[in-house]
Amino acid sequence: MKKKLNDIYSLIKSRRLSEAFGKTRALINSDQVMKYTAKIDELESVYHDLLSYYIRGIEDVKREDILLYVGHNLAEVADLIVYKTEKRNSSAEFYNRLRFCSGIDELGIIKLIEEALVVSDRRAYDRYVQDLFYAIWVTRSLSEEQVQAIFDTRLDDYLLCVVASALMMSLEEWWDLKKIELILGLLTRRGISPHLRARLWTAVAFTVRRYPLQIELHGKTLSPILQTVIDEHPHAAFELRFVIKRLYAALETEDVNRKVQKEVIDGLRHISPDVSHKLDLFGDQSAENGANPDWFKAIEGTGLDDTLRELSEMQDRGADVMYSSFKGMKRNLFFSEMPNWFIPFDMHHSHIAHVVSDDGFRDVARMMSTQLCDTDMYGLLATLALMPEHLRMQTLTQMSGANISEMKEQLELREISDDTDLYKREVKRYLEDLYRFYKDFKIHREFDDRFDEPYPLDVAFLHDLLNDISFEREIVDILLGQKRYREAAGMLTVLCEKAPDDALLNEKRGWALQLAGDYAKALEAYAHADLIGGETYWVTRQRAECNHRLGNYEVALADYERCFSLKPENKSLLLRAASCLMALKKWEEALSFYYKYEFTASESLQTKRPIAWCLLMSGAYERAFEVYKNIIETFVNDLRAPDFLNAGHAALMVGKREESVDFYLKSKNRYMEADSEHGEREFYRSIAEDFHTLLLLGASYEQLRLLTEWIRFSSR
């Protein structure tokens, strides 16, 4: 039904109200919502009169106001019908809490706020805060009295942060104009904390993405409030953009988790224990520690060093590298209550206060809370609460990498006084909390995951805040760093339309398209970059790669040769040019390039294989046979099934049938080792594909038939 509701909003937005009335009536399918028929009739009558005045030529200066009135009220009726019909299909948690709170009168939220403001017992206070979150979450539409109670200046930062999260999560369930007005209204206040601003801007970002049609329909109401926010806060654009940048950074968290779980942990299992603990892979190793460089050699060549380097790069881009480390702690009973995923970290909270009663312990926890998000801190301390008291401090100091004597100094170093830096830290921590909720809450699958796809930047309501090329460039760089090339290419296409004379943007667009596999469009982007900025080595090289992929070997060859003339020290260009010549069947020219490369580089399979094939195809059978024999004798550990197959071809062409059969059988065995089920079929398919080439080289059909028969016979 929510799709039908969006259709109605689209019709109202485009002023096709007659269709919207019909679709709204079609939503009424039970006695429970039959009462809304009268309201639809009333609105339809008003709209009929408006149209009648127009047809009769009567000027109506209030026509626009009436249209807005009818549209807004019809949208509200449609919302109510869907809400009444669909609330049972909301998350189980939402529906259960809705039933629980249904007995609370309209003053329930107000009473909870009043109780929370005056209660002295911390356990009771935490219970009021939890109930307040639930009450706001399941309240479909706030009354003016409830709004004023939330605007009460007596509410401290802690309560307002909880309210902001509850409003956002309530809007995730159902649209309510008053809630988004309230969120924007709280942002108009001067002097609100970075912690609260982080939550409010996140709520704006989430709600605008969730309800683009509703936001646009109520633009005349909401836009002036947003403008007031911008006027009151000169850094409003920066703050919203930073939230969105962090949302983009969060797209990489799943990759980080996979690398930690699958690559780092599995990799450590293959390093001897006496070395792995010395590596301190996630800590700092200063020269004073006297770490032996030989210890780190244990991870070289395992692939683990590359993984750790990549994780470090991900962290530099803003990826959440701590998620997997604290994931298991979210199974604590504390997190069975939904509000506990959204409350700010407070060492006085009744669930953990007894754990941090010691001054030294509080210092360690305070230091760690500057780096870890709130849910990780609650999870950590709730887990420590289950341990014997004498082990808690030891465990915490080990995790923090600090001892008590260093604590004061580290706390001073980590204290941030700059408002902007504080805000950035709070956004990072809050979005990490939200990510954990959407991934790890016991019924997280009942909520639409807001971290599954990139945030759209073409949101009309936020245009004045997000329409900035430098910001969009930053997002593109994040996507490129995450290897999300298709999304980056789409964004770069829009950017290139905004700045058509920017050569760098066109280069990046070409690069993104190339890595996304769209080589033809990449060539168009590179051509445009050349027109703007002139020919460069890098663009010429990428253009060569695209043409190579597209099979335009002549064009690619010319570009590779051009690149080599500009950078003769780059010998890999010789290999790329030679591969084009091979594709063009210019075997002897290809050989000259391979020999040039081999003259300057060490002997390797990278050149030996194509040299042997070029010799074979150019008719130098004896030389080809010698090279293949050299490959098989020299590179024993790197051989593949096609190496033996091609050696068999060369032996056949020099008349060494027995050796040819021996190589073919070895090739067949390699194919079967690689794939026991389909390997044999793959071998015969490969040898059959090469028959045409061998016939062109001079082998007879009868010769090939008898060889194949012998191989089949020998394998029985």
Q: How far is CA 522 from the centre of its chain?
A: 24
User: What pLDDT score does 56 carry?
Assistant: 86
Domain ranges of the chain: 1-89, 96-233, 328-416, 468-529, 602-715
Asked if residue 389 has pLDDT above 80, the reply is no
Share of the chain above pLDDT 90, in %: 49
| Angle, CA 141 vertex, CA 135 and CA 142 arms, to 5° | 70
Exposure class string for 140-151: b at 16+ Cβ within 10 A, else e: bbbeeebeebbe
Q: What count of Cα atoms within 13 Å lies in the side-chain half-sphere of residue 557?
A: 16
Other C-beta atoms within 10 Å of 570: how many?
Answer: 13
Q: How far apart are CA 714 and CA 663, in angstroms?
A: 13
Contact call for residues 298 and 275 (beta carbons, < 8 A): yes
The token pair at 54 is: 């127009």
**Helical segments of 177-318, H only:** 177-187, 194-210, 212-217, 219-232, 236-250, 253-258, 265-269, 273-279, 293-296, 304-316
Crossing angle of the two packed helices 503-515 and 519-533, in degrees rounded to 10: 160
Contact call for residues 106 and 146 (beta carbons, < 8 A): yes
Domain 602-715 belongs in CATH node 1.25.40: yes
pLDDT digits (tens, 9 = 90+) for 243-279: 999 999 988 888 777 766 555 445 444 444 443 343 3
Q: How far apart are CA 398 and CA 694, in angstroms?
A: 68
Asked if residue 8 has pLDDT above 80, the reply is yes
> CA distances (Å), 450 to each of 30, 79, 309, 422, 682, in order?
32, 22, 29, 24, 45
User: What pLDDT score does 201 carry?
Assistant: 98
> CA distances (Å), 16 to each of 1, 2, 13, 217, 335, in order?
20, 19, 8, 13, 47
Q: How far is CA 679 from the centre of its chain?
A: 38
CATH: 3.40.50.300, 2.60.40.1180, 3.30.465.10, 1.25.40.10. Which one for 468-529?
1.25.40.10
pLDDT digits (tens, 9 = 90+) for 356-384: 877 667 877 888 888 889 999 999 888 88
Crossing angle of the two packed helices 17-26 and 36-55, in degrees rounded to 10: 160
- Same CATH fold, 602-715 and 468-529? yes
pLDDT digits (tens, 9 = 90+) for 270-316: 444 443 343 344 344 444 444 444 434 444 444 545 555 555 566 66
SS (H, E, C) 541-586: HHHHHHHHHHCCHHHHHHHHHHHHHHCCCCCHHHHHHHHHHHHCCC
pLDDT-derived band at 651, boundaries 50, 70, 90 = very high
End-to-end CA distance of the chain: 65
Average pLDDT, the chain: 84
> CA distances (Å), 297 to each of 272, 275, 279, 291, in order?
12, 10, 10, 12
For residues 5 and 592, the model is more confident at 592
For residues 618 and 83, the model is more confident at 618
